Amino acid sequence: MKKMFLVLALLMFASQAIAGTVTLTLVRDVTNPHLGVLSYSASGNVSGLGLNITVDTADANIVDINSYFVGECGGPGNRGFGIFPASFSREIDAADPNWDDPDYTPVAAATDAGAAGTGLGTGTIIIEMGALYEDGNAPPTSGTLCKILVDGDCNVTVTSDATRGHVVMEDATQASLNTTAATSVFLGTSCEYPACWDYTAQCKGDTNNTFQVDVDDFIIFKDSWNKTKDVDGAYDPCADFNKDGVCNVDDFIIFKDNWNKAVTGTCTTGDINGVYCP
Protein backbone atom coordinates (compact mmCIF):
# COMPACT_ATOMS: atom_id res chain seq x y z
CA MET A 1 0.00 0.00 0.00
CA LYS A 2 1.42 3.37 -0.97
CA LYS A 3 2.17 6.01 1.59
CA MET A 4 1.57 9.58 0.52
CA PHE A 5 3.06 12.33 2.59
CA LEU A 6 2.02 15.89 1.80
CA VAL A 7 3.79 18.65 3.67
CA LEU A 8 0.70 20.83 4.07
CA ALA A 9 -1.17 18.00 5.74
CA LEU A 10 1.51 17.50 8.38
CA LEU A 11 1.13 20.77 10.27
CA MET A 12 -1.07 19.01 12.81
CA PHE A 13 1.93 17.01 13.97
CA ALA A 14 4.11 20.00 14.81
CA SER A 15 3.28 19.79 18.52
CA GLN A 16 4.25 16.15 18.86
CA ALA A 17 7.51 14.91 20.34
CA ILE A 18 10.63 15.49 18.30
CA ALA A 19 11.96 12.28 16.79
CA GLY A 20 14.63 12.03 14.10
CA THR A 21 17.25 14.54 13.04
CA VAL A 22 17.72 16.19 9.65
CA THR A 23 20.75 18.25 8.61
CA LEU A 24 20.55 20.67 5.69
CA THR A 25 23.63 21.78 3.77
CA LEU A 26 23.96 24.50 1.15
CA VAL A 27 27.17 24.76 -0.91
CA ARG A 28 28.18 26.59 -4.05
CA ASP A 29 27.98 24.51 -7.19
CA VAL A 30 31.40 24.06 -8.79
CA THR A 31 30.03 25.10 -12.19
CA ASN A 32 28.48 28.43 -11.16
CA PRO A 33 29.27 30.55 -8.07
CA HIS A 34 25.70 31.90 -8.05
CA LEU A 35 24.23 28.39 -7.94
CA GLY A 36 23.71 26.71 -4.57
CA VAL A 37 23.23 22.97 -4.00
CA LEU A 38 20.82 22.19 -1.16
CA SER A 39 21.33 18.73 0.34
CA TYR A 40 19.96 16.82 3.31
CA SER A 41 21.07 14.04 5.62
CA ALA A 42 18.62 12.34 7.99
CA SER A 43 18.67 9.79 10.78
CA GLY A 44 15.65 8.01 9.26
CA ASN A 45 12.99 8.29 6.59
CA VAL A 46 11.74 11.82 5.98
CA SER A 47 8.16 12.26 4.79
CA GLY A 48 8.02 15.95 3.94
CA LEU A 49 9.87 19.25 4.04
CA GLY A 50 8.59 22.81 4.19
CA LEU A 51 11.45 25.28 3.81
CA ASN A 52 12.05 29.02 3.50
CA ILE A 53 15.03 30.08 1.39
CA THR A 54 16.01 33.73 1.70
CA VAL A 55 18.77 36.06 0.47
CA ASP A 56 20.14 38.84 2.65
CA THR A 57 20.23 41.75 0.20
CA ALA A 58 17.85 43.69 -2.02
CA ASP A 59 20.52 43.54 -4.75
CA ALA A 60 19.91 39.83 -5.42
CA ASN A 61 16.89 37.61 -6.03
CA ILE A 62 16.28 33.89 -6.32
CA VAL A 63 15.59 33.39 -10.02
CA ASP A 64 15.49 29.63 -10.55
CA ILE A 65 15.24 26.28 -8.81
CA ASN A 66 16.19 23.05 -10.54
CA SER A 67 17.63 19.54 -10.17
CA TYR A 68 14.78 18.39 -7.91
CA PHE A 69 13.05 15.02 -8.04
CA VAL A 70 9.56 14.90 -9.59
CA GLY A 71 6.77 12.36 -9.09
CA GLU A 72 6.40 9.21 -7.04
CA CYS A 73 9.28 6.99 -6.01
CA GLY A 74 10.32 4.19 -8.33
CA GLY A 75 13.19 1.75 -8.22
CA PRO A 76 16.71 2.35 -6.88
CA GLY A 77 18.12 5.64 -8.11
CA ASN A 78 14.63 6.94 -8.86
CA ARG A 79 13.42 8.05 -5.46
CA GLY A 80 12.93 11.44 -3.90
CA PHE A 81 10.55 14.12 -2.69
CA GLY A 82 8.55 14.72 -5.84
CA ILE A 83 5.09 15.53 -4.49
CA PHE A 84 4.57 19.30 -4.21
CA PRO A 85 1.22 19.70 -2.43
CA ALA A 86 -0.11 23.07 -3.60
CA SER A 87 1.28 22.73 -7.11
CA PHE A 88 -0.03 19.15 -7.28
CA SER A 89 -3.57 20.33 -6.57
CA ARG A 90 -3.36 22.89 -9.39
CA GLU A 91 -1.34 21.14 -12.07
CA ILE A 92 -1.59 17.35 -11.69
CA ASP A 93 -4.43 15.00 -12.57
CA ALA A 94 -4.07 12.32 -9.89
CA ALA A 95 -5.74 9.73 -12.15
CA ASP A 96 -3.30 10.39 -15.00
CA PRO A 97 -0.36 12.44 -13.69
CA ASN A 98 1.92 14.27 -16.11
CA TRP A 99 5.08 14.73 -14.07
CA ASP A 100 6.70 16.60 -16.97
CA ASP A 101 4.33 19.56 -16.65
CA PRO A 102 6.68 22.61 -16.54
CA ASP A 103 4.30 24.39 -14.16
CA TYR A 104 4.61 21.62 -11.58
CA THR A 105 7.15 23.01 -9.12
CA PRO A 106 8.02 22.82 -5.41
CA VAL A 107 7.95 26.63 -5.13
CA ALA A 108 4.84 27.89 -3.37
CA ALA A 109 2.81 30.48 -5.28
CA ALA A 110 2.48 33.94 -3.76
CA THR A 111 -1.26 33.23 -3.41
CA ASP A 112 -0.66 30.15 -1.27
CA ALA A 113 -1.03 30.28 2.52
CA GLY A 114 1.81 32.18 4.18
CA ALA A 115 3.58 32.88 0.87
CA ALA A 116 2.53 36.45 0.05
CA GLY A 117 5.38 38.43 -1.49
CA THR A 118 7.54 35.36 -2.15
CA GLY A 119 8.42 33.42 -5.28
CA LEU A 120 10.99 33.30 -8.04
CA GLY A 121 12.22 36.79 -8.87
CA THR A 122 12.06 37.85 -5.20
CA GLY A 123 14.41 37.48 -2.26
CA THR A 124 12.47 34.59 -0.72
CA ILE A 125 11.00 31.34 -1.94
CA ILE A 126 9.07 28.74 0.01
CA ILE A 127 9.40 25.16 -1.11
CA GLU A 128 7.24 22.21 -0.12
CA MET A 129 8.20 18.64 -0.89
CA GLY A 130 6.58 15.35 0.03
CA ALA A 131 7.15 11.74 -0.95
CA LEU A 132 4.87 9.09 -2.46
CA TYR A 133 6.20 5.58 -2.06
CA GLU A 134 5.53 1.98 -1.13
CA ASP A 135 7.00 0.30 1.95
CA GLY A 136 10.70 -0.27 1.41
CA ASN A 137 10.83 2.22 -1.44
CA ALA A 138 11.32 5.47 0.50
CA PRO A 139 13.62 8.27 -0.63
CA PRO A 140 17.23 7.83 0.51
CA THR A 141 18.17 9.27 3.90
CA SER A 142 20.62 11.66 2.27
CA GLY A 143 20.93 13.38 -1.07
CA THR A 144 20.32 16.56 -3.05
CA LEU A 145 16.98 18.32 -2.68
CA CYS A 146 17.48 20.97 -5.35
CA LYS A 147 19.73 23.67 -6.75
CA ILE A 148 18.99 27.38 -6.28
CA LEU A 149 20.14 30.15 -8.61
CA VAL A 150 20.54 33.78 -7.52
CA ASP A 151 21.18 36.74 -9.81
CA GLY A 152 23.68 38.58 -7.62
CA ASP A 153 26.17 38.15 -4.81
CA CYS A 154 24.41 37.38 -1.53
CA ASN A 155 24.24 35.21 1.54
CA VAL A 156 21.51 32.57 1.46
CA THR A 157 19.81 31.09 4.52
CA VAL A 158 17.48 28.08 4.71
CA THR A 159 14.99 27.65 7.56
CA SER A 160 11.92 25.51 8.16
CA ASP A 161 8.45 26.80 7.30
CA ALA A 162 5.87 26.52 10.07
CA THR A 163 2.86 26.87 7.76
CA ARG A 164 3.97 23.74 5.93
CA GLY A 165 4.71 21.71 9.05
CA HIS A 166 8.49 22.24 9.20
CA VAL A 167 10.33 18.98 8.40
CA VAL A 168 8.52 15.77 9.30
CA MET A 169 9.71 12.19 9.69
CA GLU A 170 7.87 9.11 8.43
CA ASP A 171 6.33 8.50 11.86
CA ALA A 172 4.69 11.97 11.65
CA THR A 173 6.91 13.56 14.30
CA GLN A 174 8.64 16.87 13.68
CA ALA A 175 12.34 16.43 12.94
CA SER A 176 15.08 18.14 14.89
CA LEU A 177 16.53 20.34 12.15
CA ASN A 178 20.18 21.41 11.90
CA THR A 179 20.65 24.29 9.45
CA THR A 180 24.11 25.45 10.55
CA ALA A 181 25.59 24.54 7.16
CA ALA A 182 22.71 26.24 5.35
CA THR A 183 22.86 29.59 7.14
CA SER A 184 24.38 32.72 5.59
CA VAL A 185 26.07 30.74 2.81
CA PHE A 186 27.73 33.07 0.30
CA LEU A 187 26.79 32.61 -3.34
CA GLY A 188 28.62 34.89 -5.73
CA THR A 189 31.88 36.05 -7.21
CA SER A 190 32.94 39.15 -5.31
CA CYS A 191 34.60 37.01 -2.69
CA GLU A 192 36.23 33.76 -3.73
CA TYR A 193 37.39 31.26 -1.16
CA PRO A 194 38.39 27.61 -1.73
CA ALA A 195 35.54 25.31 -2.67
CA CYS A 196 36.76 22.73 -0.14
CA TRP A 197 35.90 25.17 2.65
CA ASP A 198 32.28 24.38 1.80
CA TYR A 199 32.89 20.67 2.47
CA THR A 200 30.87 19.93 5.58
CA ALA A 201 33.47 17.57 7.11
CA GLN A 202 36.59 19.55 6.10
CA CYS A 203 37.02 20.95 9.62
CA LYS A 204 37.52 17.36 10.83
CA GLY A 205 40.40 16.49 8.51
CA ASP A 206 38.43 15.47 5.41
CA THR A 207 40.28 17.28 2.61
CA ASN A 208 38.49 15.64 -0.32
CA ASN A 209 34.83 15.41 0.75
CA THR A 210 34.73 11.63 1.19
CA PHE A 211 33.61 11.79 4.85
CA GLN A 212 36.57 9.60 5.71
CA VAL A 213 39.92 10.75 7.10
CA ASP A 214 42.43 8.44 5.48
CA VAL A 215 45.76 8.23 3.66
CA ASP A 216 44.60 10.49 0.82
CA ASP A 217 43.95 13.24 3.34
CA PHE A 218 47.28 12.55 5.02
CA ILE A 219 49.17 13.12 1.78
CA ILE A 220 47.48 16.49 1.25
CA PHE A 221 48.07 17.49 4.87
CA LYS A 222 51.71 16.35 4.81
CA ASP A 223 52.47 18.40 1.71
CA SER A 224 50.89 21.49 3.27
CA TRP A 225 52.39 21.06 6.74
CA ASN A 226 53.82 24.24 8.26
CA LYS A 227 52.84 26.30 5.21
CA THR A 228 51.15 29.70 5.26
CA LYS A 229 48.77 31.29 2.76
CA ASP A 230 50.44 33.87 0.47
CA VAL A 231 53.87 32.92 1.87
CA ASP A 232 54.34 29.32 0.82
CA GLY A 233 53.15 28.13 -2.56
CA ALA A 234 52.56 24.63 -1.18
CA TYR A 235 49.90 25.87 1.27
CA ASP A 236 46.73 23.90 0.59
CA PRO A 237 43.61 25.43 2.16
CA CYS A 238 41.91 22.03 2.14
CA ALA A 239 44.43 20.95 4.79
CA ASP A 240 43.83 24.10 6.84
CA PHE A 241 41.15 22.54 9.00
CA ASN A 242 40.50 25.56 11.22
CA LYS A 243 40.66 27.96 8.25
CA ASP A 244 43.12 30.42 9.74
CA GLY A 245 45.53 30.66 6.81
CA VAL A 246 48.25 28.36 8.12
CA CYS A 247 48.70 24.59 8.42
CA ASN A 248 50.23 24.08 11.84
CA VAL A 249 49.94 22.13 15.07
CA ASP A 250 46.31 23.15 15.56
CA ASP A 251 45.43 21.44 12.29
CA PHE A 252 47.57 18.46 13.20
CA ILE A 253 45.57 17.90 16.40
CA ILE A 254 42.33 17.94 14.42
CA PHE A 255 43.76 15.47 11.90
CA LYS A 256 45.18 13.18 14.59
CA ASP A 257 41.90 13.03 16.51
CA ASN A 258 39.98 11.94 13.39
CA TRP A 259 42.60 9.78 11.70
CA ASN A 260 41.21 6.64 10.07
CA LYS A 261 37.64 7.50 11.07
CA ALA A 262 34.40 8.19 9.26
CA VAL A 263 33.33 11.76 9.95
CA THR A 264 29.97 13.50 9.73
CA GLY A 265 29.17 16.72 7.90
CA THR A 266 28.59 19.19 10.73
CA CYS A 267 31.23 21.84 9.98
CA THR A 268 30.38 25.50 9.54
CA THR A 269 31.15 26.18 5.90
CA GLY A 270 32.72 29.17 4.20
CA ASP A 271 35.57 31.54 5.02
CA ILE A 272 34.69 31.77 8.70
CA ASN A 273 37.85 33.69 9.68
CA GLY A 274 38.03 36.09 6.76
CA VAL A 275 41.21 34.63 5.29
CA TYR A 276 40.10 35.18 1.70
CA CYS A 277 37.15 37.48 2.37
CA PRO A 278 38.22 40.04 5.00
Backbone angles phi, psi at 224, to 5 degrees: -100, 0
Angle at 101 between CA 100 and CA 103, to 5 degrees: 135
Mean pLDDT of 16-20: 62
What per-residue string of b and e applies to 180-207 under the rule 16 or more CB within 10 Å gives b?
A: ebbbebbbbeeeebbebbbbbbbbbbbb
Domains recognised in the chain with CATH numbers: 2-187 (2.60.40.680), 195-258 (1.10.1330.10)
Question: How long is the chain?
Answer: 278
Nearest to 9 by CA among 163, 135, 118: 163
∠139-143-144 over CA atoms, to 5°? Answer: 110
Mean pLDDT, rounded, for 102-106:
95
Say how many C-beta atoms besides its own lie within 10 A of residue 122's C-beta: 14
pLDDT at 13 over 90: no
Q: What's at 83, amino acid-wise?
A: I
pLDDT tens-digit map of 23-51? 999 998 878 889 999 999 999 999 999 99
What pLDDT score was predicted for residue 2?
52
Q: What share of the chain is helix, strand, coil (3-state, %, to 5)?
A: 15, 30, 50
For range 46-70, the mean pLDDT: 96
The yes-or-no verdict on residue 80 having pLDDT over 90 is yes
Looking at residue 183, its amino acid is T
Please tell me whether residue 254 adopts helix, strand or coil conformation: helix
The partner residues of 142 in beta bridges, in order of sequence, read 41
Residues 177-217: pLDDT tens digits? 999 999 999 898 777 789 999 999 999 999 999 999 999 99
3-state secondary structure of 158: strand
d(CA 38, CA 59): 22
Strands (E), the chain: 2-5, 21-29, 32-42, 46-55, 62-66, 124-134, 142-150, 154-160, 167-169, 176-181, 185-187
132 neighbors 83 (Cβ within 8 angstroms): yes
Residue 256, pLDDT score: 97
- 17 CB-near residues (< 8 Å, 6+ apart): 173
What's the confidence (pLDDT) of residue 232? 87
CA distances from 238 to 153, 245, 266 (A): 24, 10, 16
CB 127 within 8 A of CB 106: yes
154-172 per-position pLDDT tens digit = 999 999 999 999 999 999 9
The CA distance from 230 to 138, in Å, is 48
3-class DSSP assignment, residue 76: coil
